[in-house]
Amino acid sequence: MYASLVHDFMANGSLEMWLHPKEDGINQSRNLNLLQRLHVAIDLSSAMHYLHGLCETPIIHCDLKPSNILLDRYMIAHVEYGIGSKATTYGDVYSFGIILFEIFTGRRPTDEVFIDGLNLHNFFRSKLPRRVMQLLDPKLIATGEIRAEEIVEDNKSDDGQNEIQENNVNIENLKLQGSNVQKCVVLVLKIELACSAELPGDRLNMSDVTRKLNIIIEAFVHARTH
């Protein structure tokens, strides 16, 4: 007697295929635009919020990574379940932060840039907000979705001395600030920092992440249409 496991067909494959296409001439042309990347981030955070906070018993994913995130015909992201040990919601939040990093930079966390003790978290912190162009996926810049003139310098030091804590991720007032694309992108990347904090207790929970990302995407759409 045989048993079958049936899944919905995911016409657009995995997030891994889109972020890191193989140089085979077939998948190499795959590219997610900025709005699609934001939607994938929200789909993923909403799924993790459901697993962590809305199930009768919290469910820990344990193996959150681009190859376990599938995209359907409408480019909606679906999370494939993983099994592991010694799991905590904090671990899932950290993994989500790393995936945010991959979504918006196009880099893998094992990229050769992270050498000589420079970890991903400190690398990000040293670039925000003034050198955000050095973080973003070159495909977004090449297509003109992000322009250099949109990245406005401020007077704050970017030497990494100030930790970006949740209360500094000023998202709730985004609409009141005259939001633009640059602000939205920087705030998304600051969420990555808040999710990948070294101490588990300093990380955001997925409920707050989902709420913040929804505010950001609403402001982003407003900025693009005005």
- Confidence category of residue 22, pLDDT binned at 50, 70, 90: confident
Tokens for 117?
């003790």
Is the per-residue pLDDT at 3 higher than 50?
no
CATH of the domain at 36: 1.10.510.10
Q: What mean pLDDT value characterizes the chain? A: 78
Is 0.85 surpassed by the pTM of this model? no
| Section 44-60 average pLDDT | 92
Is the per-residue pLDDT at 165 higher than 60?
no
Q: Is residue 3 part of a domain?
A: no
DSSP state of 86: S
Q: Is residue 94 part of a domain?
A: yes
Give residue 211's domain range. 15-225
| Helices (H), ranges, the chain | 15-19, 34-49, 89-105, 120-127, 138-142, 181-195, 206-225
Per residue in 65-93, pLDDT (tens digit) is 999 899 998 899 988 765 444 568 999 99
Q: Higher pLDDT residue, 144 or 219?
A: 219
Q: Is residue 42 part of a domain?
A: yes
In degrees, to the nearest 5, what angle opens at C-alpha 80 toward C-alphas 23 and 99? 60
Separation CA 85–CA 62 (nearest Å): 8
DSSP letter string, 186-213: HHHHHHHHHHS-SSGGGSPPHHHHHHHH
- 69 burial via Cβ count (<10 Å: 0-12, 13-18, 19+): buried
| Section 117-138 average pLDDT | 78
Q: Is residue 71 part of a domain?
A: yes
Q: Is residue 1 part of a domain?
A: no
Q: Is residue 129 part of a domain?
A: yes
User: Active-site residue among 24, 43, 63, 92?
Assistant: 63
Is the per-residue pLDDT at 162 higher than 50?
no
Residue 14, number of CB atoms within 10 A of its CB: 19
Q: Is residue 8 part of a domain?
A: no
Q: Higher pLDDT residue, 9 or 130?
A: 130
What is the pLDDT, as a whole number, of residue 159?
Answer: 40
Q: Is residue 44 part of a domain?
A: yes
Q: Higher pLDDT residue, 143 or 186?
A: 186
Least confident range from 133-137, 180-184, 188-192: namely: 180-184
Is residue 202 flagged as an active site residue?
Answer: no
For the chain, what is the domain count? 1
Least confident range from 111-120, 129-138, 171-180: namely: 171-180
